[in-house]
Amino acid sequence: MNVTASRSVASPLKVAMIIQGYHPLVGGAERQLAAFAPELQALDIELQVLTRRYKGLRPFEVINQVPVHRLPIPGPKPTASLTFTLTALPLLRRLRPHILHAHEVFSPATTATAAKQVLGGTPVVVTAHRSGPLGDVQRLLKKFLGRQRMRTFQQQVNAFVVISQEIDAELAGVGVPEARRVFIPNGVDTQHFAPLTPPEKMAQRQKLGVPAEGPVAIFTGRLAPEKRVPHLIRAWPAVRAAHPNATLLILGVGPEEATLKQAAGPGVMFAGRVENVAPYLQAADIFVLPSAAEGLSVAMLEAMSTGLAALVTRVGGAADVIEHGHHGWLIPPDDPTALQAALLSLAGAPAQRAGLGQRARARVVSEYSLPALAKRLRALYERLIINPN
């Protein structure tokens, strides 16, 4: 599962990234690709992003020097997926990338493997972004012809990038050999996501309108059922009873937003869609992620890099990054009692929070910084161009 550097190949190295959504849409995979883009460009990689055209978005634009092609997805899901693939093929034939990199083992992977045949064997890389019942592998196997599609991917995908040990185990379980499973986790810009001094933190709170006194917990992410934000909302009154000045910041939008706002009590602040979450993280003390499913949460890595005490459920890659009680706290998913108890404990322990945050940042800086991971990804691309097998 290790990638070793190889001699330089193409200059620039052309990579087509195929993903279901991209900026300004917000999600873990979308944010991670956008974060990697400048690092890859600095390594002489020319990126083209192919994504779905959702309502209100332009067919083509350049975002942060990355060309973004948004392809039509009319009708129901099967028709939309087929149209996306059929539209992508002539575009990819014109772009002639050296590498096809699909994000998720659904229609992006289908498009990449079809393009491989059209382009005469262009190597295909696929990143699986989530594990568990809501993850890539298990969801694909439940779909119509899902097992046949997985067999095609086993045969046609040259390398699967795995971002967590759990995803690695799932791919091994469906027969993907170890030689084609490459561990390159998600990464974070550790300079952008950096802690502030206590006086700077207080100034940041004032700037954002966050109360200066009391512990501040924060959730950043999509307000969707799998994130289990209602558990957090229901736990907060007990935290407020013990710490009357405690504040819960919720950043993000999604289908549960209106319901969550109705259920929220005192001390809960909703910030909506936020382009730059770093200032909010820098103003907080505790990061909370009560998800039922994750891959390797980018939001968690950003919070840890910022020096926050992370309280997250033991799903996806969380246990790969966090040693419980050392870099953060791990609790079982769908256990509101454990969530509330952990919040109460951390809210009342500033010294413990500080120690967790310091060790969390050191962990992320040493193993999850974007520049080092981008180099590993470039090395994988080069290896596949030289030897696709």
Same domain, 163 and 208: no
Distance of alpha carbon 107 from alpha carbon 144, whole angstroms? 13
* Domain that residue 238 falls in: 198-367
Same domain, 157 and 49: yes
Report the number of distinct structural domains present in the chain.
Answer: 2
Task: Please report which confidence band the pLDDT of residue 318 belongs to, taking 50, 70 and 90 as the band edges.
Answer: very high
Mean pLDDT of 51-67: 94
Q: How far is CA 273 from CA 35, 147, 159, 266, 318, in A?
A: 17, 37, 34, 21, 24
CATH number of the domain that residue 356 is part of: 3.40.50.2000
Answer whether 49's CB lies under 8 Å from 33's CB: yes
Is there a domain that residue 51 lies in? yes
Average pLDDT of the residues of the chain: 93
Same domain, 135 and 265: no
Same domain, 49 and 107: yes
Task: Please report which confidence band the pLDDT of residue 112 belongs to, taking 50, 70 and 90 as the band edges.
Answer: very high
Q: Is it the case that residue 8 has pLDDT exceeding 70?
A: no
Same domain, 346 and 380: no
Same domain, 273 and 338: yes
Is there a domain that residue 6 lies in? no
SS3 content of the chain, % helix, strand, coil (to 5): 45, 20, 35
Is there a domain that residue 92 lies in? yes
Is there a domain that residue 104 lies in? yes
Question: pTM for the whole thing?
Answer: 0.88
Same domain, 215 and 342: yes
Is there a domain that residue 321 lies in? yes
Write the DSSP string, 327-355.
TEEEE-TT-HHHHHHHHHHHHT-HHHHHH
Q: Is it the case that residue 171 has pLDDT exceeding 60?
A: yes
Same domain, 276 and 140: no
Q: What is the pLDDT of residue 26?
A: 67
Q: Which has the minimum average pLDDT: 7-16, 154-163, 214-223?
A: 7-16
Contacts of 52 (CB under 8 A, 6+ apart): 20, 21, 70, 71, 73, 80, 84
Same domain, 167 and 209: no
Contacts of 82 (CB under 8 A, 6+ apart): none
Same domain, 345 and 381: no
Q: Which has the minimum average pLDDT: 112-121, 142-151, 185-194?
A: 142-151
Answer whether 238's CB lies under 8 Å from 228's CB: no
Is there a domain that residue 363 lies in? yes
Mean pLDDT of 174-180: 94
Burial (CB < 10 A; 0-12, 13-18, 19+), residue 121, is exposed
pLDDT tens digit sequence for 133-151: 888 899 888 888 889 999 9
Is there a domain that residue 1 lies in? no
If one counts every other C-beta atom within 10 angstroms of the C-beta of residue 227, the result is 23
Same domain, 79 and 151: yes
Q: Is it the case that residue 3 has pLDDT exceeding 80?
A: no
Distance of alpha carbon 318 from alpha carbon 312, whole angstroms? 7
Is there a domain that residue 358 lies in? yes
Same domain, 343 and 382: no
Mean pLDDT of 308-316: 97
